[in-house]
Structure 1
Amino acid sequence: MPAGTTPDGQSPAEQPTGGTLPAGVIGCGDAGGAHALTVTRTSRATLTATYDLDGARAVAVAARHGGTAVGSVEELVATGVTLVAIATGPIAQPQVVRRLIDAGYAGSVLCEKPLATSVASARRTVDAARDAGLVLAVNHERRFGLPAVTARRLVTEGAIGRLLRVEGYSPDGTLYDWAPHWIDLAFDVAGGSAVRWVHGLLDLTGRREHAGLLLERHGLLLWEHANGVRGQLECGRPVPGQPLLRLLGDDGTIEVGAVLAGPDGEVRGPALRIRDSAGIGWRHIDVGESALAAVQWTRSWDELIDATLHGRQPEHHGQRAVRALEVCLAGYLAARRGAPQWLPVDPGTDLRDLLPAPPPAVAGPKADPHAADGPRADPHAAGTGADATAGALS
């Protein structure tokens, strides 16, 4: 099959725009199921095939959302799919892209974030996809949320003056899982300015499993862009009053996913609000969706489809993912070293080598240093209706 063509001999840009493109999903866990669901929500793709090492999971996703479960990556390519979502996790993801290429696939690929466990592996994946004629995107879907899009526009227009600081937050996530989202957005609002250094702190007294990795219980990143903008990300522990994203300028503040005090604790506030130097308090901006609306996944797919049909690079292309991954890994390096990590990092640095093995279990009760805080409801938990799946679609 010539590079840059689909099984029927057409380039992606030549595919008929009046019908739907056949799509496949590789990896049918929670994220893969979310991708399959998203395909059913876009009018320009149809789920054709699913594959998972656990065949029963592939069958279950196909039964629920359409298509046929197949027994290998090669069989999935043979079905004629022109769009493939990979949701196997960052350890296996680069290998799956390589298998697609080796099987003659030359369509479009939507990988999950993070793209890989090292910068070198991520770069090899992006380069191999480009050389094989694939359109490769990474699911940084938060950049397509109307709250984030509007916030970026307001910063560009100078609504809060000169940007000084970007703060990201996830109360129950990990840095490796959530940093790609907020670092990706930080690069955008900072005008693409390169990151100079990163500092990191990790609480490894408890571990969270994510995509085959045992990650930190609580983590903090601090970084600086070359233009002086500072960034901060905290994950894994509730912080009273902290929105999902806060942009601080010398003439105002923007919050995405704000929280408000309620009679029974904090509750989800407006998806977007701004406070400037006029002194009139917070002004809520109605963008018609929550900060973590599930429709952002649909927009991620639609952007990939549009890029495929028009032969262009998608907005969430692989190089953006490599850039965000490097900052994230620099934070883990800094935490291990106990000192700021200057960029670039050694491309071969692998996250798996930076995470110590969990300590052996100790008999008897152990005090929880956070127990005094008491349980706290997550005000950013998924809502109902259109946002009901937002919590699973991180």
Structure 2
Amino acid sequence: MKVGVLSFAHVHAAGYARLLRDMPGVDLLTSDPDGDSAPPGEVRGRALAEQLGVSHVPTSQALFDWGPDAVIVASENSRHRALVELAAKHGVDVLCEKPLATTVEDGEAMVAACREAGVRLGVAYPVRFSPAYAALREAVRSGGTGRVLTVAGANNGSLPAGARAWFVDPRLAGGGAMMDHTVHIADLLDELFAGARAVDVYAQSNNLMYEGEVEVDTAGLVTVRYDNGAVATIDCSWSHPDHHPTWGGLELQLVGESATVEMDAFGQVVSGFDERNRRGVLLPWGADLDEAMVRTFLHGAADGAVQVADGEAGLRSLRIALAAYESVREGRPVPMG
């Protein structure tokens, strides 16, 4: 199977390249045409491909001329549409980094292009493949929790500007922490509730932690009401300090009529302290969620297992993030269409 990675802009792009490089039965080719325009200190383009030991071509078109069976789009958020539409034009299945886009118009165009071309559009939400989420999902779907009343979610991380400056450019990213982190939990709930839809969204955000350093929101709290009666809150902040031993995490507490269930998506770690470097250490030992997601996208899922989020699901989580920004601007709950 021939698989391409389009752009090294996203912080996850190098990880996808490593996974595919080492995956049996996969031939990998990468392309990062905008790599030369990256800020000083960011290694991209052919230089990063050489570090990773993967093949590279200078243009996206050259990658499609190679004849891939599937591609992963890992560009800046606002540049997803052009690459997804290019994949659709060439009849190639595409897995796109989240969020799907920065506007509903772009997201709808991407979904339509892939539908009309008859190709699969997936959205990279790897937390769907966490063993902790699988256990929570089983508890809810089996009826063990009873009707879900509330969900409190937190997706916190470090300010990503040090690794990739575009994350704090509202033109390229579409926002800040609310755009980056609301969508992961919104997608989990979309999958968990299996047909329930958001009714309205209320949000507040600020930039108290990095005031004067960046111009986007770095902390937020989003409340979503669903038509199944559940109410969810999402802490979507870049609140981890720079020298925290891990980039961040994702946790949920779900309260049902019959039980309360808690999950930590990245709880499979050994923790300790490194005296030499005077910092804490977290060593993951559990499932590689990115690998599970990529394998499922390439080879499919077993009956009843979690599927890769499709374009429609990606569009629904994007709408929630965009409604959160509208709520912040207007200071009121925003109805979902």
User: The TM-score by the shorter chain falls in which range?
Assistant: 0.7 to 0.9
Post-superposition offset of 1:134: 2.0
Task: Look up the equivalent residue of 1:195 and give its one-letter code.
Answer: A
2:113 match:
128
Residues 289-329 of structure 1 deviation map (CA, whole Å, 9 limit, x = unaligned): 3xxx5x11111111111249xxxx96311111001111111
Post-superposition offset of 1:123: 1.0
Post-superposition offset of 1:65: 3.7
- The CA distance in 1 between the partners of 2:150 and 2:205, in whole Å, is 21
- The CA distance in 1 between the partners of 2:32 and 2:76, in whole Å, is 14
- The CA distance in 2 between the partners of 1:221 and 1:227, in whole Å, is 18
Task: Look up the equivalent residue of 1:24 and give its one-letter code.
Answer: G
1:261-340 correspondence to structure 2 within 5 Å: 289=286, 293=287, 295-307=288-300, 315-340=308-333
Structure 1: 5+ residue runs without aligned partners? Answer: 1-20, 272-287, 345-394
Q: Go from structure 1 to structure 2 and tell me whether the alpha carbon gap of 1:188 and 1:49 turns closer, same or farther (over 3 Å shift).
A: closer
1:232-251 correspondence to structure 2 within 5 Å: 232-236=233-237, 237=239, 244-251=251-258
Would you say 1:115 and 2:100 are equivalent positions?
yes
- The CA distance in 2 between the partners of 1:208 and 1:93, in whole Å, is 29
SS at match of 2:98: coil
Residues 328-352 of structure 1 deviation map (CA, whole Å, 9 limit, x = unaligned): 11111111100000012xxxxxxxx
| Alpha-carbon contact 1:84-1:108 (below 8 Å) kept | yes
Q: Go from structure 1 to structure 2 and tell me whether the alpha carbon gap of 1:208 and 1:168 turns closer, same or farther (over 3 Å shift).
A: farther
1:39-188 correspondence to structure 2 within 5 Å: 39-54=20-35, 57-102=44-89, 105-172=90-157, 174-188=177-191
1:5-24 correspondence to structure 2 within 5 Å: 21-24=1-4
Task: Look up the equivalent residue of 1:47 and give its one-letter code.
Answer: L
| Alpha-carbon contact 2:272-2:281 (below 8 Å) kept | no
Q: Go from structure 1 to structure 2 and tell me whether the alpha carbon gap of 1:131 and 1:188 turns closer, same or farther (over 3 Å shift).
A: same
- The CA distance in 2 between the partners of 1:263 and 1:252, in whole Å, is 32
SS at match of 2:78: coil
Task: Look up the equivalent residue of 2:140 and give its one-letter code.
Answer: V
| Alpha-carbon contact 1:166-1:246 (below 8 Å) kept | yes
TM-score for both structures, normalised by structure 1: 0.66
1:189-200 correspondence to structure 2 within 5 Å: 189-200=192-203
- The CA distance in 1 between the partners of 2:201 and 2:75, in whole Å, is 28
Task: Look up the equivalent residue of 1:251 and give its one-letter code.
Answer: S
The number of residue pairs the alignment matches comes to 287
SS at match of 2:64: helix
Structure 2: 5+ residue runs without aligned partners? Answer: 37-42, 159-176, 241-248, 274-279
1:229 match:
230
Would you say 1:257 and 2:264 are equivalent positions?
yes
- The CA distance in 2 between the partners of 1:137 and 1:66, in whole Å, is 26
Q: RMSD in angstroms over aligned alpha carbons?
A: 3.1
- The CA distance in 2 between the partners of 1:156 and 1:190, in whole Å, is 9
- The CA distance in 2 between the partners of 1:208 and 1:321, in whole Å, is 31
Tell which deviates more after alignment, 120-129 or 32-41: 32-41
Would you say 1:204 and 2:207 are equivalent positions?
yes
SS at match of 1:231: strand
TM-score for both structures, normalised by structure 2: 0.77
Post-superposition offset of 1:41: 4.4
Residues 87-106 of structure 1 deviation map (CA, whole Å, 9 limit, x = unaligned): 1121011012223344xx21
- The CA distance in 2 between the partners of 1:316 and 1:111, in whole Å, is 10
Post-superposition offset of 1:54: 1.6
